[in-house]
Structure 1
Amino acid sequence: MMLWGKARDYYEQALSLNTQSEALAELSRLLKAMGDTKASQELMMINLRYASNQLKPLPLP
């Protein structure tokens, strides 16, 4: 039996130390599975902004 609350705490602690894309994605996935869709979507938006900031600048229209 998995302790989902403990898993959530683990990911939140990881994020407090370093906002890593993988930890954001995993916490988002866990929250969605736990039924917290709103929090999951908010984290995915943060993850998307983080990933966008890592892209090399390109000329855009």
Structure 2
Amino acid sequence: MNSQSIAGILGAIIASIVLVVAIAYGPIGQFGKPAKPAGVQPGQAAPAPAAPAPRGPVIREVPNQ
């Protein structure tokens, strides 16, 4: 067995491991995964918006004397 055949076998093993991981964690949809919860329930109201955050110091023009 020469080094090229060993490299080919190891490459095939690594490629199969990468393929299995990609299938397990990839975006295949809901196949084999639990359903995601639906967002906000219709009976619940969104909280009232808070007051706007201050934007920093106010700089006013000072008249020259």
TM-score greater than 0.5 by the shorter chain: no
Q: Which range, TM-score by smaller chain?
A: 0.3 to 0.5
**Greater helix percent: which structure?**
1
Q: TM-score, normalised by structure 2?
A: 0.32
Q: TM-score, normalised by structure 1?
A: 0.33
- Tell me which structure has the larger Cα radius of gyration: 2
